[in-house]
Structure 1
């Protein structure tokens, strides 16, 4: 009997490629099914995308095919947003996708796309794939927003940022103006229409896989599923199969300096500061963050990128980063802090015993990498769904503290930075102790979700039986 075969399609960008590759690894290792990943890359020969695919291939769990790039210049305006371009590229991939499926020696039976690839589901029908599913690498509240957006589009007048009352989703936490995805704030922008269309296309799938777990978001998951056909938020089944995160392995580049330094620090004494691959700050905010770390008196590991508004004629990014810091900062904090200006292996850093907190942009992958290690978070959201992630982490899960206003809407001062860092790392802070305890509880529940009989493991097998991957 032929081994069951699943086809996964990853949208451009490391934030979409890695979660899909890790899902493929999970399907292969847990379900023992053949997995093929079609990777739609940025087309810029990104070394990080290549490394991600190489690492997945090295584990031998997935067969990875990079689909040929397509020209979308005639489909979008020159100043179109990244989101608009990704949606356009995924729709333009239909012919290449169908040709790639036809050329496969053994056809897959199940297709899984992420929310940027909902436009490919009609092509799946034409290619003869019998089941098509959506993978949301974010959480259940995010999914609720996406599928409710077409409803809001019809009933909400004006711009969402001008609403007086939070937007409601049946059974879920309401969504305030400071929680909304930045992609929907301007209804005249084409990316808004793309998001609405995505919400309309989600119910055309046979179901949705979500990168969360029952113990973490049970109420929201129940709200998505419960009620009659006409009243429930989701019209198709929802499977919570998280946490699904990048594993340690070949992709992690050795950086002995970082780990030699971490090995010398006390347990849970270091705050790790990293704002993601797109998380560059203004010069003024970089200075205030530096002063705040110094004033906190806590040990820190800071992965620092060049400030967005600070241009100097230096010979390297490292020089530019150094010149953006307060005068004498590196000398004064020598031994207490370590500033890294190059790529750093985040998964291994967060699993190191000396890490006691994470000042993060709150991308969902980073959030899960932190919480699965019991590391509490200082929420510093910058864009996309990170604003709602920060609200979820602080107000619902209790595993984070956050700034008094959204970063980007104002400069977060040094005293506030110092206070937030001390809260999650300093042993004597009462609020910090509660946050650290909650983070540890989430770590335990994340491990339990994938044990034999655990909620995510059971959900994955339920999905696999429904779509014929397992008997």
Structure 2
């Protein structure tokens, strides 16, 4: 434990959404349990997510983590079907600025630093007002961060739409990226979310540093580029601190109906886990093709199922006997009967961490959200990359092209329905093929390095966190001496 971190108080700002709240909670828990830092989470919330509400009610570590909910009032005027999610989040954070300022002002003990998540750069004026050391926590990887801070340069160099470029985009510290694999805000330069993305990339450089949910061994070349690459340092000179991987060990859900008992009966590394996260919904046509592909592969699977229309599933579906010929309209007729000996379906939400750590799991068909990606890597499970939105296409490119721990379809699932034959081949290749064995060996080595990075003896991520806290402590001491 770093002695310089004793008695520090840090506030962490979380933007709305389960995918943003989870990594903020993990960072807070890490600060408390390993560094004895009092932490206050400022959670901007809406009333639209029951899972988010459950997460906020989880018990906190040792009483040193306090969560202050900042519920937005009526924000219907911000809602517009044509506005993209990223733009909406930026608007929500701007709307929440008075709440954030009031929450800090009312604290009996003011924080010694403010950490904001990737959408929380809106709070930069508040950090300046209170003269707080300020950091951005990007719960993603160095590839995403390099693209975000370098995008203003690309904006000046490239004319027209990025997706129309014939050549791959060159990002310092990263392998060349296909234009189609860029983050969603870059897909249409005429949309407001692109303007917001450019602004955030510039604002990242105004903070005292960036925390990444990654580690040195995972992205050594990209992290080195932040320290030494002239092109990247021309836009950002402040340090980047890899402090991960921060992943969940428990989840606010229970796995019911005997699914774990079914997994216990399967051979080691024989089962494909299929899940697209809390926001992943496929089209009806793609659901049908996926079902056929899983069936044709004849590999064991456990599939977290959501309706293609609303993300929900008819409760009756899961109370019927698997032997029945009845099945919902978004699955092929008789699918449950034909696959009852090789697969099970989980309604809406499965206990992902527990499933991934089960010895029978041999692969993960995932949307490649970074939370899920890290959970797969630290569980030693290779992936089939199935990106859907946000930065997931970029994550998929890194997993396949840089790390070699994932397969992906020839065409992006967001552009074309992936057919059953290709799905069958991908599943067989991952679970049974030689390529799958090679990827499994690679990801298991990464699992070991992930554990080492967090070690309190010589872990690179542990040292990064100690350095941040030492800087904050030194600045606090300097303020107190004035």
TM-score by length of 2: 0.91
Number of the residue aligned with 1:214: 216
Structure 2 unmatched runs, 5+: 321-325, 478-482
Q: CA shift at 1:231, angstroms?
A: 4.1
Match of 1:80 in 2: 83
Hey, what's the Cα distance between the residues in 2 that align with 1:27 and 1:49?
A: 21
* SS of structure 2 residue aligned to 1:66: strand
Aligned counterparts of 1:310 and 1:432: Cα–Cα separation in 2: 30
Q: Is the 8 A contact 2:385 2:406 kept in 1?
A: yes
Gaps of 5+ in 1: none
Give the counterpart of 2:166 among 157, 164, 167.
164
SS in 2 for 1:63: strand
Q: Secondary structure in 2 aligned to 1:408? A: coil
Contact 2:211 2:240 (8 Å CA) reproduced: yes
Instruction: For residue 365 of structure 1, report the CA deviation from its aligned partner.
Output: 0.5
Q: Which residue of 2 aligns with 1:89?
A: 92
Number of aligned positions between the proteins: 465
Residue 175 (structure 1) shift: 2.5
Say if 2:327 is the partner of 1:325.
no
Specify the alignment match of 2:282 in structure 1.
281
The structure-2 alpha-carbon separation of the partners of 1:37 and 1:321, relative to structure 1 and needing over 3 Å to count, comes to: farther
Q: 1:361 maps to what in 2?
A: 367
Select which of 225, 228, 232 maps to 1:226: 228
Secondary structure, aligned partner of 1:323: coil
User: Match for 1:465 among 459, 464, 470?
Assistant: 470
Asked whether 1:344 is paired with 2:350, we answer yes
After the TM superposition, which of the residue ranges 221-230 and 163-172 deviates more from structure 2?
Answer: 221-230
Provide the rounded CA distance (Å) in 2 between the counterparts of 1:84 and 1:265: 45
Q: Following TM superposition, by how much is the alpha carbon of 1:254 offset from its aligned partner in structure 2, in angstroms?
A: 3.9
Map of 1:292 onto structure 2: 293
In the alignment, which residue of structure 1 is the partner of 2:58?
Answer: 55
Distance 2:434 2:460 in 1: 32
Of the three residues 431, 443, 448, the one matched with 1:444 is 448
Matches within 5 A, 1:392-471: 392-426=398-432, 429-451=433-455, 452-468=457-473
Residue 323 of structure 2 corresponds to none
**Match of 2:33?**
29
* In the alignment, structure 1 residue 109 sits paired with structure 2 residue 87: no
Change in 2 beyond 3 A, CA 1:218/1:125: same
Asked if structure 2 preserves the Cα contact closer than 8 Å seen for 1:19 and 1:244, the reply is yes
Question: How far apart are the structure 1 equivalents of 2:232 and 2:376?
Answer: 38
Structure 1 residues 229 and 386, CA, compared in 2 at 3 Å: closer, same or farther? closer
Q: Is the 8 A contact 1:380 1:407 kept in 2?
A: yes
> 1:59, CA displacement in angstroms?
6.4
Greater Cα offset, 16-25 or 226-235: 226-235
Q: Normalising to structure 1: TM-score of the pair?
A: 0.93
| Pairing partner for 2:137 from 132, 135, 138 | 135
Cα distance in 2, alignment partners of residues 310 and 136 from structure 1: 27
Of the structure 1 ranges 239-248 and 369-378, higher mean CA displacement relative to structure 2 is found in 239-248
The residue aligned with 1:43 is: 47
Deviations 1:284-341 (A, max 9, x none): 11111111111111100000111239999x7867699732111111111112100112
Tell whether the 8 Å contact from 1:241 to 1:457 is kept in structure 2 after alignment: yes
Q: Is the 8 A contact 2:243 2:461 kept in 1?
A: yes
Do residues 193 (structure 1) and 195 (structure 2) align?
Answer: yes
Contact 2:226 2:232 in 1 (8 A): no
Aligned-pair Cα RMSD in Å: 2.4
